[in-house]
């Protein structure tokens, strides 16, 4: 605990110092990023120790806030969420120092680092807060600091719009979180996590719904996800990595904490989360397939991965309510591990996308191509991330998806009635998501990094510098390491899972042993696979050494003059799938075909897939609200005389009312 607080203090102090050094961009970056790295490292060590120790440490300090108290608690569940938050934030800070170096707004760097460090500290505080008021304060600081980070390039209109969308969505969600804590706290007469809780019946159900809506907005559950594909592309890449990799996980943490506060879960909670997981997962990956802005694509993949996590949580809740502890433990373990894994590979992918944007000046996938030869390190790291997020062995994404599959198969084979149906839908969702994610990342990596450059941007790309390259390679190594040490990782997670299901850690570890057995089998397979790759690769090299391979143009069925423009693009690669699911996607296509026998005007094709929920649900609703609000605006048009009249009329009305009251 003390290590954690010292680390966070370093982070905040460094942020303040960076703000003070605003005049000198280099110094601000160095102080801000260096402080974030060191502070996160120290705090990471503290969280690591707490996770291994398994117990809960708490600290109360006097705090002059009505209703609230400064009460923080570091238990295994908090520690598990802190590890990815601190790890990714620290690594991304190193990347950010170089990424922002060429920034057009050197005078804003100090403020940017101040917000970044504040974001790290507030995320950590959200996770350790054990008091409703403290939690809400930290939650709000987190939302505001990330709002300013998103609005970093605020002279661009789309960035401003994205930032506003984020701010509004975030606060609508916060309203539900506030309501959740108010109802819970009003009943207990205190906001301390130790005292509130233990509700049952319809009230618990309502509170659970509030938690799902409020925290789900931050996490990005469909259809509350609309801010994600706007805000993530607008932010600088290291910020996108932190927001997408770990900040949205505070929503998942919130739901888990809510479940532990509310007491015994009811069956439909699990069904609801499986349903949310199915829609978020499948629609998230479908929308991702239809995008050709790399960061928008990645943002939609966050929605998909949050869906996978929700599936795991749903399976876990079904296990608890159906009194199948093994199922509960496996479901929650899968969800928690996916939280950690997603931080690693999504952080990596956003950093890779940032490196590509840095090197080429564009995020448009269809303008890129052939970057693997120009950016070999970034390309290799991105490939690892792409394989991991597609859930392919031997990387980490496979391990956590496997655990959720294991739970779903177990539930599908043993449970009855609606619980079995929910498990089977979880299998269906995971299978569909797996295949579609593979298609999407084959597209993303294949079109960006392979083939020939499709534009001048890509032709003159250059490799990122060492401070950007190292974080990516580090995260790629983490992806491989978690994949290959899966049984040990899952065993270490037992205390955190125990916090949710409330079984002693020895019992949790025993229940997780079946999963650990499976994971040992997977590691054996993975090791065998890597051995085979080495062996077959060696044989291949021996065969190639016999006579040097010839180099020529692509065969292409004998076509002699292929050009880069004839290659498949991201849009054409995804077209069969986006066409198949056009009912959900509503892709808009504009096509100006060549006219006449000898066309003189160039033909054009453009397709875009705007978010269906933004277009059909939220935009009409907000337009309606704006329309409604336009009416009261007539009362307020800036004439002071009229305002005086309002005041006088009000006073007269009050006077009449008061006199009427007396008589």
Contacts of another protein in 306-335 (CB under 8 A):
326, 330
**Residue 364 near residue 398, CB atoms below 8 Å:** no
Tokens 């120009």 belong to which residue? 374
Judged by beta carbon, residue 506 or residue 536, the one nearer another protein is: 536
Residue 606 DSSP class: E
Sole binder of another protein in the list 238, 410, 457, 469 (CB under 8 A): 410
Least spacing, CB of residue 25 vs another protein, in Å = 37
Residue 557 in contact with another protein, rule: CB under 8 A: yes
Least spacing, CB of residue 380 vs another protein, in Å = 9
Query: Is the bond preceding 394 in cis, omega lying within 30 degrees of 0?
Result: yes
Judged by beta carbon, residue 261 or residue 403, the one nearer another protein is: 403
Sole binder of another protein in the list 436, 464, 484, 501 (CB under 8 A): 436
Closest CA to 16 of 35, 40, 41: 35
Closest CA to 34 of 117, 131, 130: 117
Sole binder of another protein in the list 26, 466, 504, 528 (CB under 8 A): 528
Residue 503 in contact with another protein, rule: CB under 8 A: no
Residue 605 DSSP class: E
The number of residues that bind another protein (CB under 8 A) is 90
Using alpha carbons only, give the angle 469, 471, 473 rounded to the nearest 5 degrees.
70
Judged by CB under 8 A, the stretch of 26-34, 296-304, 438-446, 626-634 that binds another protein is 438-446
CA distances from 439 to 105, 278, 289, 442, 663 (A): 38, 18, 8, 5, 78
Least spacing, CB of residue 544 vs another protein, in Å = 7
Within 573-612, which residues bind another protein (CB under 8 A)? 573-577, 580
Burial profile 32-42: b = 16 or more Cβ within 10 angstroms, e = fewer: bbbbbbbbbeb
Sole binder of another protein in the list 161, 194, 456, 556 (CB under 8 A): 556
Judged by CB under 8 A, the stretch of 27-35, 185-193, 310-318, 449-457 that binds another protein is 449-457
Closest CA to 607 of 592, 618, 595: 592
**Separation of alpha carbons 66 and 64, rounded Å:** 7
Judged by beta carbon, residue 542 or residue 633, the one nearer another protein is: 542
Least spacing, CB of residue 523 vs another protein, in Å = 10
Judged by beta carbon, residue 21 or residue 330, the one nearer another protein is: 330
Residue 655 in contact with another protein, rule: CB under 8 A: no
- Got the DSSP string for 185-231? HHHHT--BTTTS----HHHHHHHHHHHHHHHHHHHT-TTTTTTHHHH
Within 450-489, which residues bind another protein (CB under 8 A)? 450-452
Residue 520 in contact with another protein, rule: CB under 8 A: yes
Least spacing, CB of residue 630 vs another protein, in Å = 47
Convert residues 356-395 into a mask of x (bound to another protein by CB under 8 A) and - (unbound): -------------xx-xx---------x---x--xxxx--
Judged by beta carbon, residue 231 or residue 326, the one nearer another protein is: 326
Judged by beta carbon, residue 222 or residue 512, the one nearer another protein is: 512
**Residue 280 near residue 300, CB atoms below 8 Å:** no
Indicate the Cα dihedral angle 212, 217, 222, 223, nearest 10°: 110
Phi, psi of 375 (to 5 degrees): -125, 70
Sole binder of another protein in the list 170, 217, 508, 518 (CB under 8 A): 518
Residue 398 in contact with another protein, rule: CB under 8 A: yes
**Residue 291 near residue 318, CB atoms below 8 Å:** no
Judged by beta carbon, residue 527 or residue 654, the one nearer another protein is: 527
Residue 608's DSSP bridge partners are 588
Q: Which conformational region is residue 74 in: left (phi greater than 0), alpha (psi within -120 to 50 degrees), or beta? A: beta
Residue 545 in contact with another protein, rule: CB under 8 A: no
Sole binder of another protein in the list 13, 421, 470, 485 (CB under 8 A): 421
Residue 550 in contact with another protein, rule: CB under 8 A: yes
Least spacing, CB of residue 366 vs another protein, in Å = 12
Tokens 């938690």 belong to which residue? 211
Within 209-268, which residues bind another protein (CB under 8 A)? none
Judged by beta carbon, residue 179 or residue 380, the one nearer another protein is: 380
Judged by beta carbon, residue 183 or residue 392, the one nearer another protein is: 392
**Separation of alpha carbons 317 and 266, rounded Å:** 8
Judged by CB under 8 A, the stretch of 28-36, 62-70, 187-195, 418-426 that binds another protein is 418-426
Phi, psi of 323 (to 5 degrees): 55, 45
Sole binder of another protein in the list 552, 600, 641, 663 (CB under 8 A): 552
Judged by beta carbon, residue 551 or residue 637, the one nearer another protein is: 551
- Got the DSSP string for 70-114? EEEEE-HHHHHHHHHHHHHHHHHHHHHHHHTTT-S-GGGHHHHHH
**Separation of alpha carbons 204 and 73, rounded Å:** 24
Least spacing, CB of residue 141 vs another protein, in Å = 41
Judged by beta carbon, residue 404 or residue 493, the one nearer another protein is: 404
Residue 276 in contact with another protein, rule: CB under 8 A: no
Least spacing, CB of residue 80 vs another protein, in Å = 23
């Amino acid at each position: 605990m003390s290590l954690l607080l010292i680390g966070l203090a370093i982070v905040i102090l460094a942020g303040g110092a960076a703000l003070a050094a605003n005049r000198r961009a280099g110094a601000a970056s160095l102080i801000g990023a260096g402080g974030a790295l060191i502070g996160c490292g120290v705090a990471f060590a503290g969280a690591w120790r707490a996770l291994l120790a398994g117990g809960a440490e708490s600290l109360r300090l006097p705090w002059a806030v009505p209703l609230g108290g400064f009460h923080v608690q570091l238990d295994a569940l908090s520690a598990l969420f802190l590890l990815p938050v601190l790890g990714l934030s620290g690594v991304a800070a190193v990347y950010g120092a170089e990424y922002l170096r060429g920034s057009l707004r050197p005078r804003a760097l100090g403020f940017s680092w101040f917000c970044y460090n504040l974001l790290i500290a507030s995320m950590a505080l959200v996770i350790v807060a054990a008091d409703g008021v403290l939690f809400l304060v930290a939650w709000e600081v987190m939302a505001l600091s990330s709002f300013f980070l998103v609005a970093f390039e605020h002279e661009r209109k789309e960035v401003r719009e994205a930032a506003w969308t984020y701010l509004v969505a975030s606060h609508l969600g916060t309203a539900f979180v506030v309501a959740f804590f108010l109802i819970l706290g009003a009943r207990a007469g205190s906001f301390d996590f130790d005292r509130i809780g233990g509700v049952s019946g319809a009230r618990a159900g309502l509170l659970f719904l509030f938690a799902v809506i409020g925290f789900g907005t931050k996490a990005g559950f469909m259809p509350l996800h609309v801010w994600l594909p706007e805000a993530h592309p607008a932010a600088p890449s290291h910020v996108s990595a932190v927001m997408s990799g770990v900040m949205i996980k505070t929503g998942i943490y919130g739901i888990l904490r809510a479940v532990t506060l509310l007491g015994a879960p009811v069956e439909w909670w699990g069904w609801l989360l499986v349903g949310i997981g199915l829609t978020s997962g499948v629609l998230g990956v479908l929308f991702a397939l239809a995008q050709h802005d790399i960061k928008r694509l990645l943002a939609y993949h966050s929605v998909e991965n949050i869906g996978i996590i929700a599936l795991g949580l749903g399976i876990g809740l079904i296990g608890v309510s159906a009194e199948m502890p093994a199922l509960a433990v496996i479901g929650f373990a899968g969800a928690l591990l996916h939280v950690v894994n997603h931080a690693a590979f999504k952080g990596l992918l956003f950093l890779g996308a940032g490196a590509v944007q840095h090197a080429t000046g564009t995020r448009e996938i269809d303008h890129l191509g052939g970057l693997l030869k120009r950016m070999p390190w970034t390309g290799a790291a991105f490939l690892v991330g792409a394989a991991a997020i597609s859930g392919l062995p031997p990387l980490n994404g496979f391990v956590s998806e496997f655990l959720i599959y294991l739970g779903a198969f177990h539930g599908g084979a043993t449970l009855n009635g609606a619980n079995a149906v929910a498990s089977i839908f979880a299998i269906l969702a995971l299978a569909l998501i797996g295949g579609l994610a593979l298609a999407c990342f084959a597209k993303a990596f294949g079109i960006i990094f392979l083939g020939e450059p499709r534009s001048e941007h890509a032709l003159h790309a250059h490799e990122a510098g060492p401070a950007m390259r190292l974080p990516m390679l580090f995260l790629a190594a983490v992806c491989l390491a978690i994949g290959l040490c899966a049984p040990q990782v899952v065993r270490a997670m037992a205390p955190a899972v125990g916090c949710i299901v409330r079984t002693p850690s020895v019992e949790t570890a025993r229940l997780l042993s079946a999963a650990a057995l499976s994971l040992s089998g997977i590691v054996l397979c993975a090791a065998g696979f890597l051995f085979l790759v080495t062996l077959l690769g060696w044989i291949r090299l021996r065969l190639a050494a016999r006579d040097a391979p010839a180099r020529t143009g692509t065969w292409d069925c004998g076509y002699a003059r292929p050009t880069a423009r004839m290659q498949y693009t991201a849009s054409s690669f995804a077209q069969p799938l986006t066409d198949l699911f056009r009912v959900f996607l509503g892709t808009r296509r504009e096509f100006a075909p060549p006219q006449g026998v000898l066309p003189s005007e160039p033909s054009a094709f453009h397709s875009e897939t705007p978010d269906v929920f933004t277009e059909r649900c939220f935009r009409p609703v907000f337009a309606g609200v704006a329309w409604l609000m336009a009416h009261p605006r007539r009362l307020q048009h800036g004439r002071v005389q009229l305002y005086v009249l309002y005041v006088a009329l009000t006073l007269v009305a009050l006077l009449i009312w008061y006199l009427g009251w007396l008589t």
